[in-house]
Amino acid sequence: MKEKPPPKTRSYGVDSRHILPMVRDLLELATVRLANKNTRRHVVQFGRSIRQHAFDARDTLPVIDHPALAAFLGCNEPREIVLPPIDTISLSGLGFVVPYTLLATIVSALNPKKIFETGTFRGVGTLTMALNAPEADIYTLDLPEQYTDAEVETLSRGDKEWVRLSRTSTGFAFVGHRAAKRIHQLRGNSLTFTAPDSLAGTDLCFIDGGHSYECIKADTETALKILSPSGVIVWDDYTWFIEGVGQYLAELRSSLPLYRIAGSQLVICRLDKKSIPSVS
């Protein structure tokens, strides 16, 4: 399949008036603020921001800007998006609104009838998708509440901690919500998961479970087996500090048209069945 060029993104100029103040602020952060334990967190955040911007600058995946996202998905008249309450996002999610805004935009534009998600966690992403696809059935997979050491063997230390923290609160955000009747909680290890027949013809797969190379590979191969002919895959956590996601997607880009969503850790692919690599 001939790959279409990505929608154009905005260009960013440099305002010379900010160069000297920027250098001054950088020196202040590296000296005064770093030495002060009350302000040291700002230096840490700045360092992380530098790493992320450097990752973005080096990355060679084509980029889709936010206003072009709906059109990329074939939607010329996008609907208004719906987000969970801010306290749900803050307390049950990771506290950041933008990823859920982008996820809502994707789902609203695509209007899928069947969604498969790996990595339920506390269910904020799941609820976001349900709110923006009012006719969809959402199937979301997470580890059993009582998991074995072998089931988390390939996970990073960070992933293991997230698993531990969410064992008693998996899907908390959508439990008792009116949309919960369309949400089907699946339990199992994605490395050995066999998709049930009910997942055939899935329109959207959201991959946000384990971030090791092995997990991303297994989740992607499951997605490729169950997607509808024009299905969409979205991967989260494509960033500088998660090597497994970047390593696998670097390999996958040779066989699938992958695009980054600007200013985010999301990668998206809209499939044509002719472009799907065979998976065993």
CA 68 to CA 247: how far, in whole Å? Answer: 27
Tokens of 78: 């996008």
At residue 1, the pLDDT reads 45
Beta-bridged to residue 187, according to DSSP, are 142
Residue entry with tokens 């602020």: 25
- Closest C-alpha to 129, from 195, 206, 188: 206
Arithmetic mean of pLDDT, 143-147: 78
Residues constituting the chain: 280
Paired sense of beta strands 267-270 and 259-261, if any = antiparallel
**pLDDT (tens digit per residue) in 211-270:** 999 999 999 999 999 999 999 999 999 999 999 999 999 999 999 999 999 999 999 999
pTM confidence score? 0.88
What the chain holds in terms of domains, given with CATH numbers, is: 16-53 (no CATH), 61-275 (3.40.50.150)
Question: CB neighbours of 248 closer than 8 A, spacing ≥ 6?
Answer: 213, 216, 217, 220
What are the backbone angles phi and psi of residue 100, rounded to the nearest 5°? Answer: -75, -30
Is residue 114 left, alpha or beta, with left meaning phi > 0 and alpha meaning psi from -120 to 50? beta
**pLDDT (tens digit per residue) in 155-192:** 767 777 767 777 778 999 999 999 999 999 999 998 99
- Closest C-alpha to 273, from 213, 212, 217, 230: 230
> Residue 83: is it exposed, middle or buried by C-beta count within 10 angstroms (0-12/13-18/19+)?
middle
CA 208 to CA 214: how far, in whole Å? Answer: 13
At residue 155, the pLDDT reads 74
CA 57 to CA 55: how far, in whole Å? Answer: 5
Query: What is the residue-wise DSSP string for 196-229?
Result: -GGGTTEEEEEE-S--SHHHHHHHHHHHHHHEEE
